[in-house]
Chain A
Amino acid sequence: MIEVLDLHKSFGAVKAVQGVSFTAPDGRITGLLGPNGAGKSTTLRMLYTLLRPDAGTARVDGFDVRQAPLEVQRRLGALPDARGLYPRLTARENVRYFGRLHGLNGADLEARIERLVRLLEMGEIADRRTEGFSTGERLKVAIARALVHGPRNVLLDEPTNGLDVMSTRAMRDVIRRLRDDGQCVLFSSHIMQEVAMLCDHIVIIAHGRVVAQGTADELRAQTGQASLEDAFVSVIGSEEGLER
């Protein structure tokens, strides 16, 4: 479970996040929807402890990101916007490196990697060096290494960015399966369709603030709009930076 309360973060004069609050419960897919530059990535980076909030608190399974960053890191798996791999290592070696940094090793680690290889259908690429992998193949490796330690909370920053239709569908299946296993899934996107299709709970962010949240139906009711798309536009105030 991820709890975010009144988070603030500025870079110099730029106020990236100014008062974001939401809760992402276990067994649910929570989507952060907002235009590019709305503060989604900054919020996620504070959650996975690479940025320190200026004010407010964020907790992962009850551990504060500022006071217990190592506990938080152990409890979450994150796919950041930057998802580079080591091109001279095989897919399996890339995943193994992160697993070992999480304190795993031996038969347990190898079994976990094997499970992920099957889950993400990486059988053919698992023992190839990642140099020259397609975007979809690279994403699979990046997700496998984020999940290798079996985190209860999964943070995905624009996970379908740059994927073709087939890979996007496969990605959605993975996200749903994580939810069905009872994990807390939080992902960000600027694509309305995707968020509408996947998320149990939608948090709409614009200009560093949460402007509306709820299920798709609740959002339509709140705004009095017939379609979700119109509901999004009405709370954000413009269509800029969004994708259907």
Chain B
Amino acid sequence: MERIGIVFGKEVLDNLRDRRTLGSAVIGALLGPLLILMIIIILGQVFFREGAAKPLTLPVIGAERAPNLIAFLQQQNAQIVPGPADPETAVRNGDVELVLIIPPEYPEDFAAGRPAAVRIVEDSSRQSASVSVARARSLLNAYGRQIAALRLVARGVSPAVIQPVMVESVDTATPQSQVLIFLNALPYFLMFALFSGGAGVIIDSTAGERERGSLEPLLINPAARREIVLGKLLAALPFASAVLLLTLGAYAVIFNVVPLEDFIGFRLSIDPLALAGIFLVCLPMIVLATALQMIIATFARNFKEAQTYVGFLPLVPALPGLGLAFIPVRPDLWTMLIPTFGQQILINQFMRAEPVSPANLLISAAVTLALAAGLIVISIRLYDREQIILAR
């Protein structure tokens, strides 16, 4: 038992001095939070800068022929600018999104109570212009309805007569829900962080030890292989935990300190207690990740190969998590029996401040730790074989 501590202490000291591995672990920790922050800001731009607050720029030809209409449009936050000389070419070339043409006969038709034609020049194949065109069209329709209502009232008829059906639409797609979909990627980034945190230590102390030629001298010491393997495994845990804490800390800053409401118009926050819960949920996964990495790095022929394989590792448990981002899964018992999958569901629950069942917490932790224990036994067996010093 004492030798486990000796191996642990040496590996921790040795890896603390490895600035490069420490640096890449820190970058790995901050990558996810930075991506989430970027997604939130970009989504915020898309949904809010395009919103009604922005005035509609409307090139008009013949504005002087319809002063009332122009006044109405300006009231509705449209900015009237003079139209181009050749409206169709200008629209086709994309110089302007649309042009409103008020023809010369408009004042006469309007005064006589005949339908007065106005023309919108648009390019319907141009997606980016569709919002502006739709806004212009709905403003013109609104003006038409308003005039129609006034004329009916002037003749003593209720405006309701010409509106037999009134359509009301309720749009449930809020900017909130759009942002929250991407927030579902957060468990994935947590997995990535906890897999990357201890990877350097494991690779250095297994494949690295062999490549340096220090494994054979080490194994000649009167220490059981299980003591050496456990010491190395344990040494990776503080590094992985620190990286995970750093990641969670970065999320805490993003959600509770950065003024996100300036970007997305509403507050997003994660309770520090929920972050603590997420940390606890992740701890068994750290043990599992470390054990998996140990086996893979031990099988690898050299340092480079170990780095490649271990680098791919977080993808495997992260795949269900990525799926979770788009298909909601309820926290049923069967999901808790799948290591890493159950935890990602629990993390989502913590994030949404939903009540988390203690039984689910315990079951997922127990299953994950049991699997990790099995993998640790396998790594000890691997170190008990004599091929460990022969295979290069």
A83 touches B6 (CB 8 A): no
Determine if B214 is an interface residue (Cβ-Cβ < 8 Å). Answer: yes
B213 — which chain A residues lie within 8 A by C-beta? 82-84
A51 touches B386 (CB 8 A): yes
Q: Of all chain B residues, which has the CB nearest A51? A: B386
B221 touches A102 (CB 8 A): yes
Residue of B14, B216, B386 near A80 (CB, 8 A) is B216
Q: Which of A71-103 contact B (CB under 8 A)?
A: 73-74, 78-89, 93, 97-98, 100-103
B224 — which chain A residues lie within 8 A by C-beta? 70
A9 nearest CB across to chain B (Å): 10
Complex Cα distance, B228 from A98, in Å, reads 12
Closest 8 CB pairs of A and B: A84-B213, A82-B213, A84-B212, A84-B214, A73-B222, A101-B221, A88-B17, A82-B216
A11 — which chain B residues lie within 8 A by C-beta? 390
Q: Which of A15-67 contact B (CB under 8 A)?
A: 45, 48-52
Determine if A204 is an interface residue (Cβ-Cβ < 8 Å). Answer: no
A45 — which chain B residues lie within 8 A by C-beta? 389
Q: Of all chain A residues, which has the CB nearest B211? A: A84
Would A80 and B222 be within 8 Å (CB), given that A50-B386, A85-B214, A86-B214 are in contact? Answer: no
Residue of A80, A81, A101, A146 near B6 (CB, 8 A) is A101
Would A89 and B14 be within 8 Å (CB), given that A52-B386, A82-B215, A100-B6 are in contact? Answer: yes
14 interchain pairs (CB within 8 A)? A51-B386, A73-B222, A81-B216, A82-B213, A82-B215, A82-B216, A82-B389, A83-B213, A84-B214, A89-B14, A98-B221, A100-B6, A101-B218, A101-B223
Q: Mark B9-51, 1 if CB is under 8 A from A, else 0.
A: 0100110011000000000000000000000000000000000
Binding site for B on A (CB under 8 A): 11, 45, 48-52, 70, 73-74, 78-89, 93, 97-98, 100-103, 142, 145-146
A97 touches B10 (CB 8 A): yes
B167 — which chain A residues lie within 8 A by C-beta? none
A49 touches B14 (CB 8 A): no
B355 — which chain A residues lie within 8 A by C-beta? none
A146 touches B390 (CB 8 A): no
A67 nearest CB across to chain B (Å): 15
B217 touches A80 (CB 8 A): yes
Determine if B219 is an interface residue (Cβ-Cβ < 8 Å). Answer: yes
B interface, by DSSP: helix, strand, loop or mixed?
A: helix
B222 touches A146 (CB 8 A): no
Determine if B134 is an interface residue (Cβ-Cβ < 8 Å). Answer: no
Determine if B226 is an interface residue (Cβ-Cβ < 8 Å). Answer: no
B10 — which chain A residues lie within 8 A by C-beta? 86, 89, 97
A37 nearest CB across to chain B (Å): 14
Extra contacts besides A49-B220, A50-B219, A79-B217 (11): CB < 8 Å: A50-B389, A73-B222, A80-B217, A85-B212, A86-B10, A86-B214, A88-B17, A88-B18, A98-B217, A101-B7, A142-B217
Complex Cα distance, B216 from A101, in Å, reads 14
Would A50 and B220 be within 8 Å (CB), given that A11-B390, A85-B214 are in contact? Answer: yes
A50 — which chain B residues lie within 8 A by C-beta? 216, 219-220, 386, 389
B385 nearest CB across to chain A (Å): 10
Q: Of all chain A residues, which has the CB nearest B205? A: A86
A139 nearest CB across to chain B (Å): 12
Q: Of all chain B residues, which has the CB nearest A75? A: B222
Q: Which of B175-222 contact A (CB under 8 A)?
A: 209, 212-222
Complex Cα distance, B376 from A12, in Å, reads 28
Determine if B92 is an interface residue (Cβ-Cβ < 8 Å). Answer: no
Q: Of all chain B residues, which has the CB nearest A142? A: B217
B65 nearest CB across to chain A (Å): 83
A84 — which chain B residues lie within 8 A by C-beta? 209, 212-215, 217
B2 — which chain A residues lie within 8 A by C-beta? 103
A87 — which chain B residues lie within 8 A by C-beta? 212
Q: Of all chain A residues, which has the CB nearest B17? A: A88
